[in-house]
Amino acid sequence: MHARVTTAVFQQENADEMARIYQRDIVPVIATQQGFKGVYLLMDRSSGEGISLTLWASEADGQAYEASGAYKAQVDKLRHLFTATPSLKTYETVVQALAPARVSS
Domain residue spans of the chain: 2-92
Kindly report the number of other CB atoms within 10 A of residue 70's CB atom. Answer: 16
Question: What does the pLDDT look like over 20-67, one tens digit per residue?
Answer: 999 999 999 999 999 999 999 999 999 999 999 999 999 999 999 999
- Say what the pLDDT of residue 102 is: 84
pLDDT, averaged across the chain: 94
Helix (H) or strand (E) holding 47: none
Query: Exposed/middle/buried for 92, CB within 10 Å: 0-12, 13-18, 19+?
Result: exposed
Model confidence, pTM: 0.88
Helix (H) or strand (E) holding 57: none
105 pLDDT higher than 80: no
Continuous H helices in 22-105: 27-30, 59-67, 70-78
Question: What does the pLDDT look like over 69-87, one tens digit per residue?
Answer: 999 999 999 999 999 999 9
The yes or no reply on domain 2-92 and CATH 3.30.465.10 is: no
* pLDDT band per the 50, 70, 90 thresholds, residue 13: very high
In sign, the C-alpha dihedral spanning 29, 79, 14, 86 is positive
Phi, psi of 86 (to 5 degrees): -65, 160
